[in-house]
Structure 1
Amino acid sequence: MPVNPNDPRVKRTRQLLLQSFMELIEQKKNIYSISVQDITDRATVNRATFYAHFEDKYAFLECWMRQKFQRKLARELPNNSISNMSSLRSLIQIVFDFLALTRQYMIRTPENSPYEPLFESAIHKELYQLLFTWLSEEAKTPEAKKAVEPTALLISWGILGTAIQWSRDPQHRSGEEMVQEMLVVVAAGLAPVLEEPQKDAR
C-alpha cells in the first residue's frame, strides 16, 4: 500500500533515511558505495520501511539530489525564483557551484555510470521549472508564448550540460568565467520569448 507523502510520520521517516544517507556520505565520501542496507542500519529501520517509501535505490538517490538542490536554491536564489537577468545569473552560478560541490562524492566508474543521468534529471527538473515559470510570465505575444516551452528546455539543458562538463575538469576555466560566458549565451537564447531581450548580459 503506497504511503501518504503528506503524513507527518511519513515525512519524518523520509527525512530520517535521507539524513542517515548524508551521514554515511560524510564517512565514505562516495555516494555509490552506500547500499540500502547501510542506510537502513544507520536509520535503525528495516528494509521493508525503506521500500515502503522509495521504489528502489535509484528513486531514493533522485529524491536526495533533488531535495539537496532545492535547499541550495532556497538559500541562495532570491525569492527562490527568476525575475530578471541578475537572478538568472545567480541561478547559473548556483548550478555550477552545486555540481562542483557534489562532484567530490561521485567517483566515476563503469559501475556507477547509471547514476549520473539520474542526478542530471533531478537537477534539470528544478532548473526547467524555474525557467518555464519565469518565461511564461514574461511572454507577451502569441509567438512568445508558443516559444516558452522549447526555450526553457533548450536553456535549462544548455546550462546544466555546460556545468556538468566543467565540473568534470574545472582546472582549465574558473567557474566565474564560465558563468559569465554562459550568461551571454543564455541571454541570446531568450530572445524568442522576451520582448526586449537583454542586449548586454554583463
Structure 2
Amino acid sequence: MTTLVNANDPRVKRTRQLLLQAFIALLEEKHNIHSISVQEIAERATVNRATFYAHFEDKYALVEGWLREKFQRALARQLPASSTLQKETLHRLIVTVFDFWALVRRYHKPSDRQFEPLYEIALQRELYEFLLRWLKQVPSEVPERVEAREVTAQAISWAIIGPAAQWSWGDQTITKEEMAHHVLAVVIAGLSPVVTVT
C-alpha cells in the first residue's frame, strides 16, 4: 500500500520523475517490463525501496502512471484546454487515441501483450476523466441525474479504447481514419441521451 504523499510538493514531483526516468532507462535496456524489478528502479533513481513504495504501490502502478502521463501530454498536444465537446474535437480525440495505441504497440514486444489490460485500464481512466470534463461543460437538454454523465463518460471511454487497442494489435487492414469514422458514429449515438453533439 502506498503512503500518502502530497502530489503538489516539488520534492514529491522530483522523486516521481526520478523513478519514472529510471524505469524508462531500464525499459530501453531490457525491452521487457516483466524483467525490471522495483529494486532496480529504486537503485537507478538513487532512492531506497521504501521511497519507491511511498510513491507507487508496485511497478505496475508506476507503469500506469507513466502511461497516463504520456497520454495526457498527447491529448494536450492535440486538444487545447479550451476545446469543447463537438464532432470535430471528438474526431480528433479518437484519432489521438488510435495514434497513441499505435505508439504503445511499436515499443512493446508480442510477449508484452500480457500487459495490454493494464494499458487499457490506464488509458481508459485518463480518457474517462477527459470526457467527463467535457460533459460537465455542456448544458444537458434533458433532466438527468448526476451519475448519467459519469456513466456516459465511462461507456464512451471504453467505446473508444476498445477498438483502438484491437486495431493497434491487429493487422490494420482498415485505416486509422476509417476506424475513427466508425467509432465516432458509435460515440455520437452513445452521447445522444445526454447531449447533442454538433
Shorter-chain TM-score above 0.5: yes
Does the 8 A contact of 1:73 with 1:80 survive in 2?
no
CA distance in 2, matches of 1:105, 1:162: 19
TM-superposed CA distance for 1:101, in Å, is: 0.4
Q: CA deviation at 1:112?
A: 6.2
Q: Decide which of 61, 82, 85 is 1:83's aligned counterpart.
A: 85
Note the C-alpha offset of 1:102. Answer: 0.9
**Equivalents in 2 of 1:127, 1:17: separation in Å?**
24
**C-alpha distance in structure 1 between counterparts of 2:85 and 2:172, whole Å:** 32
Given that 2:86 and 2:197 are in contact with CA atoms closer than 8 Å, whether structure 1 keeps it comes out as: no
Gaps of 5+ in 1: none
* Alpha-carbon offset, residue 52 of structure 1: 2.2
Please name the residue that 1:69 is paired with: 71
1:152 corresponds to 2:153: yes
The 8 Å contact of residues 82 and 134 in structure 1, kept in 2 or not, is answered as yes
**Deviation readout 1:30-51 (Å, 9 max, x if unpaired):** 3333222332232222222212
TM-score, reference length from structure 1: 0.84
TM-score (norm 2): 0.86
- Determine the C-alpha separation between the residues in 2 that align with 1:136 and 1:13: 33
**SS of residue in 1 equivalent to 2:81:** helix
1:78 match: secondary structure: coil
Question: Cα distance 1:174–1:186, how it changes in 2: closer, same or farther (>3 A)?
Answer: same
Aligned to 1:121: 121
Structure 1: distance between partners of 2:153 and 2:95: 17
Deviation at 1:124, TM superposition (A): 0.9
1:42 aligns with 2:44: yes
Runs of 4 or more above 4 Å deviation: 143-146
What fraction of aligned residue pairs are identical, expressed as a percent? 55
Figure out how many residues of one structure are paired with residues of the other and give that number.
195
Q: Provide the C-alpha distance between the structure 1 equivalents of 2:129 and 2:170, rounded to a whole number of angstroms.
A: 28
CA displacement at 1:88 relative to structure 2: 1.0
Contact 1:25 1:31 in 2 (8 A): yes
The answer to whether the 8 Å contact 1:32/1:112 transfers is: no
> Quick one: which amino acid aligns to residue 131 of structure 1?
L
